[in-house]
Structure 1
């Protein structure tokens, strides 16, 4: 990201915004009802597509396309530099990046009620195909995005590659990982939460060393503040490039609202939202800003403080992805949310998913005929004892704090004979690979699946390969086979024979330009649950 004196008057130029890869042309936006008058002849102080374009949730016949009109993304009123008028936006999808073969086009309104974001659900596309898309507003053209549809449900897909990312505190590191991800050959990217961080930011933007207005530094509580926080995290050429290159499947964790929040419970002592009704208003503002800034389909549009984010995506006969929301429906953390081994975590009936989502997951796993059943979610499922030797201590925000819920999940996987269960996880800020045991306290217990945990994109700054925390995890947990505390992401490749995960790492993120490498790789074989070095 270019260095500049004040982010409330951004100076990224047109060359920076129109990122490499593709021609420019007409674009697309989701329409919505609005009381605002139409802006018949819009003119902009700067490029209206400063936050780029994105696509998401690939289906066999289409995807959702996203952009947001924001010529001044960090305008302090949260408007993105747009007036309170609705603007007609055109969209176009083509089979080629020069747009010689346009296959779908249309128009919709960007409305001020949704921060002039647009969400277009395009249908009628061919399965398992690469497409290019773009937006236009009164002759001004957006960047060209690339996307790819999912295979047909009956297709025998030979191979699938995708990435897994999470945790990207803007003020703790540069988004170099996303620039590398943009250059990978991927069908889709799964983002497993903490897309923004709600922490108070220093006047110099942490490691970014740029001046921030007090309104941007402040911890967010209302819609304007959450819009500013999203704009800050999105207004970066590397993350723009990753969204432009690949479709994303998004789900939140805690920092999109507040650290370790649960249902209608705020965890920040002494703050003004400790009353559940006040916190619900804060959560509603955060959910709306989340929807406005990301390529999400209509079911994810918030209804007050609630949004439906769990869903299922199928990639032919090769893989079913059961995307979970482990934050919105769970019971409160046990033991005062302290790392411990208290009895409360064993209370029968404790839930991470809530009864409706649990039922949905179990039925989907049982009905699946795919070779791989992949469960992208937010918090470690595997047992994570944090202290080697005598005694045990568990993080209450992980599934360890909800042992009965984990026991139910593992029993369902075993009893329904679920094929090749693979859990994908974020949150930990470290890479990790683990066998999932039916009984973690019995080393000889049956292995019912594997878990791959993605480290952070930037959170916790540079890190190191094997820190003391990682040594403790390996010493205390025989089923954990690997961990690294460097920054990066997962690159997963699966076929009918095996599921391979490459742990991609960067040596530093506190300055831009880091190279990327694969620290190690693990595979799990079809019909043979458990990890093996690749």
Structure 2
């Protein structure tokens, strides 16, 4: 009966139904309940552009599917569609791309599996899911008042979204901040960024399947997460909890055995469940695993089952030998492979051999992983975004000398990419998406750490690179807004005349008291590891509250005002470009959506007087 009704839905169109955003009507059995239609998780949206969007989903078993989409409802057999297929080699999770879309246009979409449509609405009273493509330079062009075709840009952002009932005191597991964004800003925000710590460590056992179970738990239990990103396209970065535990030294060639060798296992899960939503560049690749043989004193890695001719060296970060791929290896200290550590790729020799550095210490057969770059950038109107990887390519730290010039949180390739991009962009605003802080720092005071000592998560433990990059960013004479995470707090800090740190969170994790932020003032001058900064606003969670009792959540909404919509005397509207556009950053309460604080910065602020 379901299939017969479905066929009727897909071959019949009426003008009344075409305007009905509640389509299909579950009372008429036009769709199957979500849980019985073959879908396990999703669909979720990501990587939105003016002409395309990615749609991700996971099925219960490997199967083919179609994504139907169009500007009106109901979707019919004549609607545009893209076919895809899930595979158990990637945990039955896959993303497909809808292309050749119209700019600045709303599209409804549905998923068809085995000829059947699941109901994708979070609640039956909700509108059928849709997305809107980004505008482009033709969308609001006005020959007289807006000849460059600028348009306003709005996005949501937050970080640290634990749903662990052990952490949250059992008060909730579905983060309310996601619901508030969906309720108040879903149509306003062109996309939403979760800036690290999207998931935490539940159900992990040191295996890839354990990591996958962790993601499935968060995607299922976090209904608010899934509901938001079914309509608002997502972008992600990763931080320590996404990979698993604090990790230092992933990018330090020559560093030996340590828990930094878990990196690529965590990032394989990240690729399957999150990073599909991100934009890709020439530096973007895929994590690869294998088993190899190395010989004493030789710089050759040999894998008879590999095909390294398909490997692009420009996409490789570092190679890990003896990586953690089994649960029993998680706590190992003795019995580790003799050659376990971090290596660099010198060149691809042939299909089965890589030249690596440093040479091996002994003859050995062991596991390896080839890491890739997870940083990326994109432009929207006059805004240039740089999403950093502040975990996967860093060196070890030296708490005795944070100014050590050999230390880095961005590896050399990433720093070169970042510097070149910032120096050469023609954008008016630069947004840096950094999962770890730049001047606010994480002291771990809430669990007994020194409230004046950074525990090593962010740039305050890599001062030589921090100061060099801040000097560069200040010199571009454009507003540079660095959105940071890791610390469970919100803050607005003016670092220099042109550079600001904006922290928008936590989305769900328990709040950190001021001591965990280094005890900054709730407003005023402050010294961050030798640098004088101005704290404009910070969530002043008190130090005398038990950590688990700080249940505040926040999220940010960033609004770039480039044009003013003005009624035209001849009818319709005209669009007038501002001489000096402005960006407004708003912090909202994650429980209510109420405005908590706002900052306004214009291009004029960054220009010399």
Contact 2:389 2:410 in 1 (8 A): yes
1:176-207 per-position Cα deviation (integer Å, ceiling 9, x unaligned): 111111121210001111111015xxxxxxxx
Measure how far apart 1:321 and its partner are.
Answer: 0.8
In the alignment, structure 1 residue 411 sits paired with structure 2 residue 471 = yes
1:459 counterpart SS class? coil
How high is the TM-score relative to the length of structure 1? 0.72
Contact 2:377 2:385 in 1 (8 A): yes
My pick for the range that moved more, 425-434 or 190-199, is 190-199
Structure 2, unaligned runs of 5 or more: 1-19, 26-32, 121-127, 139-147, 290-368, 446-450, 528-532, 542-551, 563-580
In the alignment, structure 1 residue 241 sits paired with structure 2 residue 227 = yes
Aligned counterparts of 1:418 and 1:326: Cα–Cα separation in 2: 25
Aligned counterparts of 1:458 and 1:254: Cα–Cα separation in 2: 16
Counterparts in 2 of 1:311 and 1:44: CA distance versus 1, 3 Å: closer
Aligned counterparts of 1:103 and 1:371: Cα–Cα separation in 2: 39
Structure showing greater radius of gyration is 2
Q: Which residue of 2 aligns with 1:492?
A: 558
Aligned counterparts of 1:334 and 1:448: Cα–Cα separation in 2: 30
1:158 counterpart SS class? coil
Contact 2:405 2:464 in 1 (8 A): yes
Q: Which residue of 2 aligns with 1:368?
A: 425
Q: Which residue of 2 aligns with 1:67?
A: 57
Q: Which residue of 2 aligns with 1:432?
A: 491
Q: Which residue of 1 aligns with 2:131?
A: 147
1:231 counterpart SS class? helix
Q: Which residue of 2 aligns with 1:459?
A: 509
In the alignment, structure 1 residue 319 sits paired with structure 2 residue 383 = yes
The partner residue of 1:126 within 102, 105, 127 is: 102
The partner residue of 2:598 within 518, 521, 529 is: 521
1:110-142 per-position Cα deviation (integer Å, ceiling 9, x unaligned): 111111112112321223333332221112324
Aligned counterparts of 1:130 and 1:113: Cα–Cα separation in 2: 34
How high is the TM-score relative to the length of structure 2? 0.63
Measure how far apart 1:53 and its partner are.
Answer: 1.2
2:264 counterpart SS class? helix
Counterparts in 2 of 1:97 and 1:405: CA distance versus 1, 3 Å: farther
The partner residue of 1:331 within 389, 395, 407 is: 395
In the alignment, structure 1 residue 449 sits paired with structure 2 residue 499 = yes
In the alignment, structure 1 residue 169 sits paired with structure 2 residue 159 = no
Aligned counterparts of 1:311 and 1:195: Cα–Cα separation in 2: 18
Contact 1:93 1:102 in 2 (8 A): no
Aligned counterparts of 2:55 and 2:505: Cα–Cα separation in 1: 27
Measure how far apart 1:21 and its partner are.
Answer: 6.9
Contact 1:151 1:157 in 2 (8 A): no
The partner residue of 2:236 within 222, 243, 250 is: 250
1:345 counterpart SS class? coil
Q: Aligned ranges for residues 105-124 of structure 1 at < 5 Å?
A: 105-124=81-100
Structure 1, unaligned runs of 5 or more: 1-19, 26-42, 71-81, 200-215, 267-273, 336-341, 438-446, 507-513
My pick for the range that moved more, 283-292 or 95-104, is 95-104
In the alignment, structure 1 residue 160 sits paired with structure 2 residue 140 = no
Counterparts in 2 of 1:302 and 1:254: CA distance versus 1, 3 Å: same
Measure how far apart 1:220 and its partner are.
Answer: 3.2
Q: CA RMSD in A?
A: 3.2
Contact 2:487 2:517 in 1 (8 A): no
Counterparts in 2 of 1:263 and 1:109: CA distance versus 1, 3 Å: farther
Q: Which residue of 1 aligns with 2:410?
A: 353
1:373-402 per-position Cα deviation (integer Å, ceiling 9, x unaligned): 111111111255979xxx963342210111
Aligned counterparts of 2:561 and 2:432: Cα–Cα separation in 1: 17
The partner residue of 1:310 within 372, 375, 395 is: 375
In the alignment, structure 1 residue 260 sits paired with structure 2 residue 344 = no
Measure how far apart 1:427 and its partner are.
Answer: 1.1
Q: Aligned ranges for residues 40-59 of structure 1 at < 5 Å?
A: 46-59=36-49
Q: Which residue of 1 aligns with 2:17?
A: none
1:462-502 per-position Cα deviation (integer Å, ceiling 9, x unaligned): x49x8565692117445121111431211111123211111
Aligned counterparts of 2:35 and 2:74: Cα–Cα separation in 1: 27
Aligned counterparts of 1:285 and 1:241: Cα–Cα separation in 2: 28
Measure how far apart 1:435 and its partner are.
Answer: 0.7
Measure how far apart 1:64 and its partner are.
Answer: 1.5
Contact 2:489 2:538 in 1 (8 A): yes
Aligned counterparts of 2:494 and 2:77: Cα–Cα separation in 1: 47
Contact 1:373 1:418 in 2 (8 A): no
